[in-house]
Amino acid sequence: MAVTPDSSSEPSASQRSAPSEPLVVIPLVVIGAGAAGLLAALFAGRAGARVVLVETRPKPGAKIRVSGGGRCNVLPSQAELEDFFTAGSRNALRNVFASWPLAEVRAFFEQDLGVALKVEDTGKVFPASDDPREIVDGLLNACAAAGVELRAGERVVALRRIGSPERADEPRFELEFEGGALLRAQSVVLATGGLSLPKTGSDGFGFEAARALGLRVHTTYPALAPLISADPAWGELAGVSLRVEVRAYAGDKELDRSAGDFLFTHRGFSGPVALDMSRHVTAPGAEQVQLVAAWLGFDAAEWEKRLLAGGSRSVEGVLREVLPRRLVARLVALAQAPGGRKLAELTRDERKRLVRALAACPLAVAGNEGYRTAEVTGGGIALDEVVTKTLEARSIPGLYFAGEVLDVIGRIGGFNFLWAWVSGRKAGLAAAQALRERAVAPPAG
């Protein structure tokens, strides 16, 4: 039986096939109803494809619901290519983002889904209501209106290639569900996310499936993850938070810097800046990378000026005016400076050591809190395995990828959702168009 995107003659997808029954063939199955999968399903559905969206969790969009501290930082207000990281081609990345400019993504949420958005001082964009359910419900309603069939609470355990790929009338993929039921598909969008926060349903299935299909998957690692300090003494500052600029160095070479809020935890460092910079020390081969902090974001010249202006006041007295008390005690100890001494009486070396502790304070890292708390997964399916224009696997016609499962991560601040929205839409549109073309092409042979 020839299966076309609009075919209404197939059995309903909800009559899932048991292994012994005739198999249902779905034109497009999207695996994973997270940010990327919801967009892929929605845009494919709107483009006329019959879409089944399968999701492990009983409720789709689990990560959207907990994101942004429970408020969903849905987008950044500005984005540059430099805000994203991949081992693949930056040109490829540029082309994917060019397909749906940020202003249009924002208009999609505001005008198409009808979710009012607000931009905060940090440049992050949130729903005006601070309620992530508006985003999830908006997407689910739009999917339903586009005819997408959602099947939540069903986990795919295997994805296999079947049939002869050149025959337009044959399904190309077989999905096996937990419990053994099978489903056949003409095309598949794999949008299963990474390994981070596995309780939201992303347990690395996409990486395993891609490897099993012979695709290259870069080593994965927790990114945007709280860090564990190599020096337990920082743990005494647990709960202290302040503004900071953190820089990452490989030797003398500065790799990156990030400024904003920073939080000491019992085991180390967290808060937006620590998370943002974490990938430099959690990625494979990052052993040589050193993080240093400039407290309050002041550079050495600024701290030097403040210390020199202190005159007859004590070191601790001046520093406590701008820095938390417990941090002052720690920095003075680190610098081996006499905290009670008048600033004017510090030796040049003591002042130099103090300035270093204030403007370039080493944050030695012994590890990270892992996928349990990481916001995203670095590494993943190599970008050069996909055709940039469609996000279809070069070697497997009909298989598309979107979102975190690919080797792309963004800074903290809405960039990871931006990637998920843009790549999801792109994969969905491309899959729907290819199905249309396949339906009109005469069967080969």
Nearer Cβ to ligand FAD (79/365): 79
Q: Is 220 near ligand FAD (CB under 6 A)?
A: no
Answer whether 68's CB lies under 8 Å from 126's CB.
yes
Sequence-distant (≥ 6) Cβ neighbours of residue 124 within 8 angstroms: 68, 73, 76, 77, 413, 414
CA distance 423 to 99: 9
Answer whether 46's CB lies under 8 Å from 182's CB.
no
> Which one among 376, 386, 396, 427 touches ligand FAD, defined by CB under 6 A?
376
Task: Compute the residue count for the chain.
Answer: 445
What ranges in 283-324 are assigned the alpha helix state H?
300-309, 315-320
Nearer Cβ to ligand FAD (343/405): 405
Best CA proximity match to 41, nearest among 130, 151, 204 = 151
Give the binding-site size for ligand FAD (rule: CB under 6 A). Answer: 38
Binding mask 1-40 for ligand FAD (x = CB under 6 A): ------------------------------xxxxxxx---
Q: According to CB under 6 A, which residues from 34 to 53 bind ligand FAD? A: 34-37
Q: Is 417 near ligand FAD (CB under 6 A)?
A: yes
Binding mask 172-211 for ligand FAD (x = CB under 6 A): -------------------xxx--xx--xxx--x------
Beta strand spans in 265-352 (E): 268-270, 289-295
Q: Is 375 near ligand FAD (CB under 6 A)?
A: yes
CA distance 280 to 44: 36
Which tokens sit at 82? 């430099």
Nearer Cβ to ligand FAD (398/403): 403
Q: Is 73 near ligand FAD (CB under 6 A)?
A: yes
Nearer Cβ to ligand FAD (53/332): 53
> Which one among 403, 427, 430, 439 touches ligand FAD, defined by CB under 6 A?
403
Answer whether 144's CB lies under 8 Å from 131's CB.
no
Q: Strand 182-190 relative to strand 399-401: parallel, antiparallel, unpaired? A: parallel
From the CB of 129, what's the least distance to ligand FAD, in Å?
15
- Position 29: which residue type? V
CA distance 270 to 333: 22
From the CB of 307, what's the least distance to ligand FAD, in Å?
38
From the CB of 212, what's the least distance to ligand FAD, in Å?
12
Q: Is 383 near ligand FAD (CB under 6 A)?
A: no
From the CB of 118, what's the least distance to ligand FAD, in Å?
14
Answer whether 395's CB lies under 8 Å from 165's CB.
no
From the CB of 378, what's the least distance to ligand FAD, in Å?
11
Answer whether 227's CB lies under 8 Å from 270's CB.
yes
Answer whether 59's CB lies under 8 Å from 444's CB.
no
Which tokens sit at 341? 């001494």
Q: Is 368 near ligand FAD (CB under 6 A)?
A: no
Q: Among 54-62, 100-108, 250-258, 288-296, which window interacts with ligand FAD (CB under 6 A)? A: 54-62
Nearer Cβ to ligand FAD (66/334): 66
CA atoms within 13 A on the CB side of 13: 24
- Position 202: which residue type? S
Nearer Cβ to ligand FAD (177/295): 177
- Position 171: which residue type? P
CA distance 365 to 278: 9
From the CB of 55, what's the least distance to ligand FAD, in Å?
5
From the CB of 159, what's the least distance to ligand FAD, in Å?
9
Q: According to CB under 6 A, which residues from 117 to 156 bind ligand FAD? A: 155-156
Which tokens sit at 137? 């419900």
Nearer Cβ to ligand FAD (155/356): 155
Q: Is 63 near ligand FAD (CB under 6 A)?
A: yes
Residues of this chain that interact with ligand FAD (CB under 6 A) are 31-37, 54-57, 62-63, 66-68, 72-73, 155-156, 191-193, 196-197, 200-202, 205, 375-376, 403-404, 414-417, 420
